[in-house]
Amino acid sequence: MELIKLGEKTYYIKNRTNIGIYKITEDEVYIIDSGNDKEAGKKILKILEENNWKLKGIISTHSNADHIGGNHLLQEKTNCKIYSRGIEKCFTEYPILEPSFLYGGKPFKELTNKFLLANPSQVEEIDGNLPDGLEYLNLKGHFFDMIGIKTSDNIYFLGDSIFSEETINKYHIFFIYDVKEYLNTLDFLETLNGKLYIPSHTDLRDNIKDLIKINKNKINEIIEKILDYLKTPKTFEDILKYLFDEYNLLMNANQYILIGSTLKSYISYLIDENKITYEFINNKMFFISK
């Protein structure tokens, strides 16, 4: 982990999941997200101790395990407060909800791994609890009630509202809960006028317009592939296999539920947009383009 100063009060720790730091006094800080597991929490704690900073609070952009994985250890060691919003608060307090939601039932053992299941932590609602100098932005789409954070240095921490070109080129299909809200969030991001932007899983940038376009183009590409494939009726499993084959992806349990859940979100979006419909034949559900 590498600590980088970005502004008078704003820092970030460059990591697999980037972590924001905001100084509220000379020796007190808030962090934004806590990394993917307790080892990330230990490294964060070491950096804070090296700089003689006391952790006052953690702001969770959303409740995916790779963003709250260090919460439990940091709260246990420092007695800090943790803040989140809406459904994200519930998922953070009861993290078994994440693999259960993704799978659509009680997850089997292989799905209760650290990538999908964090340790629980006690969380307070973020409204009315942010320190001076920080404000949150609604960035729905990737997950239920995800937020971003703007600091007084005009620096934006964007959570998973936008993905890197490298990630898109490698995986093509990135997790989205609500396609329409994700597209709305991308439109909103275009209106921001920040000094710097820190997405959670790529390097900081002083401009994100090109990245927004890349994200939009990939979503539209996936939509077009689904619509073209559904010129004849297909089942969900047919569509999922088609996309894995089309993008040369390798199926495993984690990918099955992550991409499968995302595909269901695309299907819901296309049904709601009146672009596809469904029917039941011999007790199977089929989808077809209109």
Q: Do residues 204 and 228 both lie within one domain?
A: no
**42 shares a domain with 182:** yes
User: Residue 273's pLDDT is what?
Assistant: 98
- In CATH, what number is assigned to the domain containing residue 229? 1.10.10.10
One domain, residues 102 and 44: yes
d(CA 2, CA 226): 41
- Tell me, what's the pLDDT at 138? 98
Same domain, 204 and 152: yes
pTM of this structure: 0.96
Residues 245 and 164 in one domain: no
pLDDT exceeds cutoff 90 at 1: no
Q: How far apart are alpha carbons 240 and 54 in whole angstroms?
A: 47
Instruction: Tell me the percentage of the chain whose pLDDT exceeds 90.
Output: 99
Say what the pLDDT of residue 201 is: 95
Same domain? For 49 and 89 the reply is: yes
Four-point Cα dihedral 94, 257, 159, 206, nearest 10: 170
Of 195, 219, 243, at which residue does a domain stop? Answer: 219
pLDDT in tens, 11-25: 999 999 999 999 999
- How many domains does the chain divide into? 2
Give CA–CA dist 249/171, Å, rounded: 7
Smallest CA-to-CA distance from 60 within 70, 51, 52 is with 70
pLDDT-derived band of residue 132, with 50, 70 and 90 as boundaries? very high
Looking at the structure, do residues 137 and 260 belong to the same domain, yes or no? no
Q: How far is CA 277 from CA 30, 63, 268, 284, in A?
A: 47, 32, 10, 14
CA-to-CA separations, 198 to 22, 164, 191, 201, in angstroms, rounded: 13, 11, 16, 8
Per DSSP, 234 falls in state B
Task: Let me know whether 182 and 115 are in one domain.
Answer: yes
Specify the pLDDT at position 73.
Answer: 98
What is the CB neighbour count within 10 angstroms for residue 274?
8
Name which of 80, 73, 33 is nearest 55 in CA terms.
80
Whether residue 215 is found in the same domain as residue 247: no
pLDDT digits (tens, 9 = 90+) for 179-231: 999 999 999 999 999 999 999 999 999 999 999 999 999 999 999 999 999 99
CATH number, domain with residue 175:
3.60.15.10
pLDDT digits (tens, 9 = 90+) for 79-99: 999 999 999 999 999 999 999
Average pLDDT over residues 38-47: 97
Residue 141 pLDDT: 98
For residues 261 and 185, membership in a common domain is answered with no
For range 149-160, the mean pLDDT: 98
- Nearest by Cα to 129 from 149, 113, 155: 149
Picking from 175, 190, 219, the residue at the C-terminal end of a domain is 219
Q: Which structural domain, as residue segments, surrounds residue 33? A: 2-219
Tell me how far apart the alpha carbons of residues 205 and 154 are, in angstroms, rounded to a whole number. Answer: 13
11 beta partners: 5, 21
Average model confidence (pLDDT) across the chain: 97
User: Do 215 and 225 have their domain in common?
Assistant: no
Do 190 and 121 belong to one domain? yes
Using the 3D structure, point to which of 219, 247, 262 is the last residue of a domain.
219
pLDDT tens track for 164-190 = 999 999 999 999 999 999 999 999 999
